[in-house]
Copies of this chain bind each other. A is one copy, B any other.
């Protein structure tokens, strides 16, 4: 089998065959044992065994060593797709940065680079930068763009999943532009796209804090306030790509203007920009979110207090999530999450305060669990890689994967 055949095994049509289901599952999950494959695909163990023999003979599937996990007995052999069978590109087109990650189909990251940009950079600049960064990522590597299985784009704002049009609320200069038209012609491979919060949710369920969870919510606290909803193992996109925009719930119709055009959105009250401005005034120098977090972790009381206040404010978003979803798990993302307990502790308190259902009223197993994101800054871009590995079509209106 060659690279063309891997592509054909990753199509939706191939899901009707055991080999297609196994390849898709390995693509989604990375490394798995034969027993795990049987459970996840719903195929009989003997069917999995036969198909795996063929896939291994064709060099499509390889062993990656043993994973005994500390248990007694013969360790199960872990299998992955052959890393040489193909690559995936994930691109983050963020508010103030562009990031490109190239990974192979065994989930190994081959390169990861990012550049910082001024806010409101023009879309044309993004196209040039992405083209150049991808060329550099492949230059002098064993892997080549010929084995490219797909490109995932994580956008710093909402995008219509059906027609690819960028919507208000994230990247003002991109509103109305078609993501597919901008990036599609660069590649001879399928293009997948979604907003960065939904991509972060994909990353959490694939490699992060939500592994094994089919129902959870992501809340991101950073310069903006965003989120994602995962229900039944699928990311909810909304009819026009606007699901999970927790930051744009209107709290006060007469409040300050939000960058989305409405007034008094949650984001206006819970984003980190005002705290950053306060920090800059105190320290007399420009600071970024990471700087404030690092200083707080190093013991700086001023920065610690700012993060605690941001956590308290972010709790309004968490309270909203509590009353709307009463979820089993909320993963807190965004760069503020790197502050650990300094953020999580006030956030939990404010969640408890603003929630309808109080912890003391329900047994342990019926309480919402809050977890910090597994990722510091790579979540969204890794999720863009995940869009390709999960091979989910952008045409699907209500669900992403």
User: Which chain A residues have a beta carbon within 8 Å of chain B's beta carbons?
Assistant: 158, 160, 162-163, 165, 167-169, 175, 214-215, 229, 231-232, 234, 236-246, 248-253, 260, 262, 316, 319-320, 322-328, 353-358, 361-363, 365-368, 397-399
Contacts and interface: CB of A to CB of B under 8 A. Distances in A.
B366 A328 contact: no
Contact of A232 (B165, B234, B361, B367): B234
A253 B245 CA distance: 21
A354 B239 contact: no
A250 B320 contact: yes
B249 A323 contact: yes
Interface-centre pick from A239, A262, A356, A363 (highest chain B CB count, 10 A): A356
Nearest to A398: B215
B242 A326 contact: yes
B328 A239 contact: yes
Given A168-B358, A232-B232, A365 B162 contact: yes
Contact of A324 (B158, B246, B354, B368): B246
Contacts of A322: 242
Nearest to A266: B323
B356 A239 contact: no
Contacts of A242: 322-323, 326, 355-357
Interface class of chain A by DSSP: loop
A242 to B, nearest CB: 3
Contacts of A250: 316, 319-320, 323, 354
B325 A238 contact: yes
B328 A399 contact: no
A158 B249 contact: no
Contacts of A239: 326-328, 366-368
B323 A366 contact: no
B232 A323 contact: no
Nearest to A354: B250
28 contacts: A160-B362, A162-B363, A167-B356, A167-B362, A168-B356, A168-B358, A168-B361, A169-B356, A215-B398, A229-B324, A231-B232, A231-B236, A240-B357, A240-B361, A240-B367, A242-B322, A243-B324, A246-B324, A248-B323, A248-B356, A249-B249, A249-B319, A249-B323, A249-B324, A250-B320, A251-B252, A253-B316, A260-B356
| Residue of A237, A240, A362 with most partner-chain B CB within 10 A | A240
A260 B250 CA distance: 22
B326 A238 contact: yes
B240 A326 contact: yes
A371 to B, nearest CB: 14
Contact of A323 (B245, B358, B361, B368): B245
A355 B169 CA distance: 11
Contact of A244 (B238, B240, B241, B324): B324
Given A168-B356, A239-B367, 15 more contacts: A160-B362, A167-B357, A167-B362, A229-B325, A231-B236, A232-B234, A240-B326, A242-B326, A243-B326, A245-B324, A245-B326, A246-B324, A249-B324, A250-B320, A251-B252
